[in-house]
Amino acid sequence: MNLAREHRRWLDPVERSLEALFGLIMVLTFTGSLSVMSAGRQDVREMLIGALGCNLAWGVIDACFYLMGILTARGHGILLIHRLRKTKDDKEVAGIYAETMPEVVVDLLTPSERESLRQRIAALPDPKRRAWLTMDDLKGAVGVFLWVFIITFPVVLPFFFMTDAVMALRMSNGIAIALLGLVGHRLATYAGWRKVRTILFMVVFGCATVALTISLGG
């Protein structure tokens, strides 16, 4: 059983949180630029098309970035295996490990442990000359696309069901703030930060970024 593959996720908690943050900021630049006092149904419709279309496009782009990252990481891994086979210098071996392992793990390994691991890696069958994508990778790309697109969809939902643009915008902003707070909570839980402070920071940061983007014409 490959435990590493079994527990691998298509995005780690930090990546998912940052993707959600970026998507929320993007969609808020559309909803925040809507002048609800003078907006008609056509203006709301155009805003919805722009917001959803932008996030749809970014979801596709981000899924492609995800696949490119996988190919690059696998290609780099193949190069590292070849480098480990060509050297027995402990400092160089430690440097190679540092490119793939957390620094705290590398520091805990003794020279004999590093050499033992190097020998085990060197004894592996020759890796493929080229890295290829698997079906799991493609499923992961679909997951990235859906995550980027779906996480922002609740923000625009009020405009579909409410005819009062002012109330819809207030409801939309409330949902966005709640989602920003949720992102902050997830990051705080993962990193061991203070949750209330992180949630408040994330909400303020998201709102400030949206205001800056709108003011610069974004």
The yes-or-no verdict on residue 218 having pLDDT over 90 is: no
In 3D space, the residue among 5, 2, 3, 1 whose CA is nearest the CA of residue 140 turns out to be: 5
Q: Is the pLDDT of residue 35 over 80?
A: no
CA dihedral sign of residues 14, 19, 25, 31: negative
Q: What is the mean pLDDT of the chain?
A: 83
| pLDDT interval class at 207 (50, 70, 90) | confident
Average pLDDT of 11-26?
Answer: 84
Question: What average pLDDT does this structure show over 30-52?
Answer: 73
pLDDT at 105 over 70: yes
User: How far is Cα 172 from Cα 30, in angstroms, rounded to an integer?
Assistant: 11
Kindly state the DSSP code that residue 1 receives in the 8-state scheme: -
More confident residue, 213 or 207: 207
Give the model's pLDDT for residue 208.
87
Does the pLDDT value for residue 1 go beyond 50?
no
For 136-164, the pLDDT digits (tens) are 889 989 998 998 888 888 988 888 888 77
Query: Is it the case that residue 133 has pLDDT exceeding 70?
Result: yes
pLDDT at res. 148 = 85
Q: What is the pLDDT of residue 68?
A: 92
More confidently predicted of 20 and 214: 20
Nearest to 148 by CA among 43, 10, 44, 37: 10
Of the candidates 185, 181, 186, 188, the one whose C-alpha atom is nearest the C-alpha of residue 207 is: 181
DSSP H helical ranges for the chain:
3-6, 13-32, 41-86, 90-98, 103-108, 111-122, 135-150, 153-161, 165-191, 195-215
At residue 206, the pLDDT reads: 86
Q: Which of left, alpha, beta for 114 (phi over 0: left; psi -120 to 50: alpha)? A: alpha
Alpha helix stretches (DSSP H) within 100-152? 103-108, 111-122, 135-150
Q: Is 128 helix (H, G, I), strand (E, B) or coil?
A: coil
pLDDT at 216: 67
Cα(133)–Cα(176) distance, rounded to whole angstroms?
35
Radius of gyration, alpha carbons of the chain: 23
